[in-house]
Each structure stands twice: as structure tokens, then as C-alpha cells.
Amino acid sequence: LLSLAPYREHVRRRGVQEVMIGYSDSNKDAGFLAANWALYQAQEGVAAVCRQAGVPLRLFHGRGTSIGRGGGPAGQAILAQPPGSLGGRMRMTEQGEALSERYSDPDLAHRHLEQVAHAFIISSARDAQALPALPEKHREALNRAAAVGRQHYRALLETPGFLDFYHTVTPIEEISRLNIGSRPARRQGERSLANLRAIPWVFSWTQCRANLPGWYGLGSGLMVLEPELLQELYRGWPFFKTLIDLAQASLAKSDLGIMASYLELVPQPLGERFWPLITAEHARSVAMVTQATGRALLDHDPTLARAIELRNPYVDPISYLQVELLRRRRALATESPERQALDEAVMVSLIGIASGVRTTG
């Protein structure tokens, strides 16, 4: 594209080539580990092409608020970008549901913007230096881990019956009927994972307290790496450290004990098929994250750990109530007069859990 004279003139007049990086569908399609590594490599490639062509680059990060859609602390995300990809320019989205959390209080707004500005300045200064290339053994390690992680993630989604399991263990059908979000939950076409948008995909797994998009496939992928190499990657590579820290936040916020109650909504054969896969991968992911860090989950972030500990007793009862509401709602006849009242109660439970765990989609 940059070799075409008309397009080069267009870029010259604009002053910059902007490229948007999307985080949502890549995670939904390939899993947390493979998607993040693919996006890292994509940024490296785009930066290299623009640098070779002598064209200024500005990356536009279309992150969501949840970790499963590229969310997390903005400062960490900036510091984790590939060297040479910043170039003194950057754009990023701020999701509507994050505005009140980050900007409603002037002190919090200033603090958030300070962290973003600090990370941007540090990264820009780093890019101005002639930094060594990423060691080939680190790149090869992530290639191996991401391939295995993606394989395990896709194996879950492609196991016969997964779509039915997903539609019963999560409130995705109820979410799809609600008038929330700027777009329908599904694209046009048959009921399938391919037609489901990323926001309701993440939102539904958050509601049943699994947070599955934020960790599934990670444990299996990292198991192929030697423990010493795993710890070396965490200590010496900002991208990998941020990846692991985000994953441990997802794992710490997940509660498979609560999710087990949602199995009451699932036909027994489906529950027996998929529950062992989810619990085993969760255990592997926790084990690999703690092996990489050398510490228990969230030992590096006691504030978040304490926040989860304090708010879960308030959120857990809402989850149990939601299970009962979903059971009653799904058992109703199509024309039952109770439907509207139960729909409203389900919506209140969705809002309550989202507010409590501070994550939507």
C-alpha cells in the first residue's frame, strides 16, 4: 500500500499513517496467550514496514475494559509495547463504562493521566535508544507456547456440544435480549460463536464468574517452557510480565466454586464433558503463573487482592440468586405472564454482578 504514489501522497498530507490494533475478536478466536503474542508481532511488523518506508506511524489501540478484550492498567500496556512501535505518537480508546471509574473524581483522573503520560514518556525515551533486539530464544519460546495455548483453546471451542454448554452455563441468551450496548450481541446469521460479538462473549463468562477469556489456554501453553526460562521471561521482558500480571488478575477474580452452581442449568452430560476441561486448565494456569512469578496470585498487588476479598461476599449472593432466576426464567412457557418480571430481575442481577466484579465486556 505504501508503495503506491497516490496513497503515499495521502499519508504525506495527513502527516502520519494510523493503524488500529483490535484486541477483542483475536482473543475470542485464538485465546488469551496466542492473541496477545500475535498482536505484539503485528505491531512489530507494522512499525518495521513504516520505518523502512520512512512513514510516521501512529498505533491506535482499540482496547476494551476487560482483560479478555485487551484491558488492564493503561500504563502497563504502554510499557509492554514492542520497542520502536511508539514513535512519540499513540491513540487509545476509553470505553464508556470506564469513564466514571477513571475520570469522575478529579484526583483519580489526574492520577490515571499521570500514569499514562509517565509510561508514554518512558517508552518514547526507550524508543529513542538503540535497544538490543528481542532474544531469539524468547521469541521462539513464545511461538511454542502460543501455538500450544491456541490449540488447547480451540479444542475447547470445537469439542462437540460446546455451543449448547456455553448457552446454558452462561446468561448469554438473556444478555442478548437486553437493550444494552451500541450493537446487537450477534451478527446476522445462524447461532454460532463466529457470529457472536466479543463484548457479550466476555460479559457472559464474567457473569458466571469464570473469566475464561482472560486465561484459558495460558496454562497449557506455558507448560511447554522450562521453569527457568519462564522466570527469565517474567523478570526481563515487559511484555511477558504484563501478560502474566493481567492473567493472574483474571484468575484471582474468577471463582470456579461459584461457577459450579451454574452447572445446575446445564444438561448433565454436557457438564460432565466440559467442567473437567475448565477446572484442569484453570489449575494449570494458576500453577504456571505462580511458577513464573515465584509468588502466590496477586502477591505483587495486595490492593487488588484485598479489594476482591472485600467485595466477593457481596457479589456471591447475587450470583446464587442469578442461577435461580435463570432456572425459573428458562422453565417458563413463551406466553407466561411472569416473563417480564423475571426478565427485569435477571437484568438487575446482571448489573449487580458487573458492578461488583467491576467488569462487563
Domain residue spans of the chain: 5-127, 137-357
Tens digit of each residue's pLDDT (9 = 90 or more) over 82-101: 888 877 788 887 776 667 77
Q: Output the furthest CA–CA distance in the chain (Å, rounded).
A: 69
Distance of CA 277 to CAs 67, 126, 220, 301, Å?
Answer: 21, 42, 11, 29
Q: Quick one: pLDDT at residue 198?
A: 84
Nearest Cα to 80, choosing from 267, 243, 228? Answer: 243
CA atoms within 13 A on the CB side of 71: 21
142 has which bridge partners?
none
Q: Is the pLDDT of residue 128 over 60?
A: yes
Q: CA 37, CA 150: separation in Å to the nearest integer?
A: 11
Residue 57 Cα distances to 22, 85, 89, 153, angstroms: 16, 8, 7, 33
- Quick: pLDDT tens for 312-331: 999 999 999 999 999 999 99
Picking from 67-76, 151-160, 243-252, 270-279, which range would have the lowest pLDDT averaged per residue? 67-76
The pLDDT mean for the chain works out to: 88
Residues 284, 217 contacting (CB under 8 angstroms): no
Q: What is the pLDDT of residue 68?
A: 47
d(CA 71, CA 60): 14
pLDDT at 122: 84
Q: Which residues pair with 57 in a beta bridge?
A: 17
Q: Which one-letter DSSP state was computed for residue 133?
A: P
For the cut 50, the answer to whether the pLDDT of residue 123 exceeds it is yes
Confirm if 346 and 199 have CB atoms less than 8 A apart: no
Identify the helix (H) or strand (E) that includes residue 185. Answer: none
Comparing CA positions, the residue from 266, 226, 35 lying closest to residue 137 is: 226
Cell representation of residue 118: 509517565
Say if CB 11 and CB 1 are below 8 A apart: no
Question: Side chain identity at 256, as an amino acid letter?
Answer: L
| pLDDT surpassing 70 at residue 12 | yes
Sheet holding 91-92, edge to edge: 17-22, 57-62, 91-92
User: Model-level pTM greater than 0.85?
Assistant: yes
**pLDDT for 75:** 74
Q: Please give the average per-residue pLDDT across 6-18, as a whole number.
A: 90
242-275 confidence digits (pLDDT tens): 999 999 999 999 999 999 999 999 999 999 999 9
Closest residue by Cα to residue 353 from 199, 198, 203: 203
pLDDT at 282 over 90: yes
pLDDT over 90 percentage in the chain: 55
Supply the DSSP string of 39-83, one letter for each residue.
HHHHHHHHHHHHHHHT--EEEEEE--SSGGGT-S-HHHHHHTSPT
List C-alpha distances in Å: 211 to 20, 83, 170, 195.
Answer: 26, 30, 11, 20
